Amino acid sequence: MLAVLCPGQGSQKPGFLTPWLDLTGAESRLRWWSALAGVDLVHLGTAADADEIRDTARTQPLLVAAALLAAEHLPMYDVALTAGHSVGELGAAALAGVLPAETAITLAGVRGREMAAACALEPTSMAAVLGGDPDEVVAAITGHGLYPANRNGSGQIVAAGAVAGLEKLAAEPPTRARVIRLQVAGAFHTPYMAPAEAALATVAAGIIPTDPTRILLSNLDGAAVNHGREILQRLVRQVTAPVRWDLCMTTLADLGVTGVIELPPAGTLAGLVKRELKGAGAPEIVTLNTPDDLPAARDLIARHGMPPSHEPAIAFRVVVAPSAGTFVPTEQLAEGDTVRAGQIIGHVATRQGPAEVTAHDSGVLTEWLAHHDDPVAPGQPLARIGGHA
């Protein structure tokens, strides 16, 4: 299985889109998207300096545009899964078929402007906490009145909140951890962004999403989300909710992803995946930064994507846990059995009683992703159902 990843804020570099403008139609595409985003994407991706593209209002639509522009030159029909980090989720949602590219670009423009406005309301910032025991790190963060805004795996947790609290955290770091202040203008993915979430929700209310055509992971909990309306709600909620990229990587491993392509500006997410998913099952990774990297990316898709066939393509849907508890699959239901939409395939035993797990689509139960008496978290993948697209 192959996954395509869309990076988030902080991955941008001056001039990173310059080589892409040599491709036919690329500049015209960016001019059109610039009109939707309200910023000059051509200038930002080619001539702007680091300070200019650090501006949240400019960076967010730039990153979504870059990912979608590069993906247009890949055989995406052979890609089974997409995911994005923070604003990269908008690009991933477009690649999964939930939103048109134009809608994703427009939402990125609104999101960036509104988050920049929220940053200006009071002095807040972010800091990376590297190392230490994760539970102790989170306790230290919350103890200083801060929020764990990003949990990126591999000993990386980003704290966000008031500048004074970050200064105290840096002065009293958790055991075996170090604190590095980040050059950002505000506390992203915390309640400080509530005005931006409200503004984005107003715009999103007018959008009619569609259900994803491939597996799409959510930053909220690493879950594979099947319904377009729920995905749109999560995209809005993510403005104030922590980014759980660690859980997204856990799902990549659970689903048996063997190949990963990070779209431009690539490197950050590829590095996290490389450090987190090690050993014999580590996926092969391609970082797509310039058109010169396209042959390697296409080759990876050819080797790890769905094989070409004249038969209808197999589309997989992941059934997820409705709540926390212990998973109990339905007796006599085995891999290879046919299930129908709405059929109960198991339940999650909770303190409040059993929560039914149902198949959203008809197809073949191709793989159990959780087994009898396994502890599960809300949104955790439980089973994969395949059917002809």
Contact present, 284 and 162 (Cβ < 8 Å): no
Question: DSSP for 302-362?
Answer: HHHSPPP-SSPPEEEEEEE-SSSEEEEEPTT--TT-EE-TT-EEEEEEETTEEEEEE-SS-
Contact present, 200 and 109 (Cβ < 8 Å): no
What pairs with residue 386 in β-bridges? Answer: 316, 364
**Of 34, 86, 125, 218, catalytic:** 86
For residue 64, which of 99, 100, 21, 108 has the smallest C-alpha distance? 108
Q: 293-307: b or e for each residue (b if 16 or more CB lie within 10 Å)?
A: beeebbebbeebbbe
Percent of the chain as helix, strand, coil, to the nearest 5: 40, 25, 40
Placement of tokens 């998207």 in the chain: 33
Structure-token pair, residue 107: 């939402």
**Of 11, 85, 144, 189, catalytic:** 189
Q: Is 86 one of the catalytic residues?
A: yes
Task: Look at residue 93 and give its three-state secondary structure.
Answer: helix
What pairs with residue 297 in β-bridges? Answer: none
CA dihedral 266, 272, 276, 282 (to 10 degrees): 10
Q: Is 227 one of the catalytic residues?
A: no
The residues carrying an active-site annotation are 86, 189
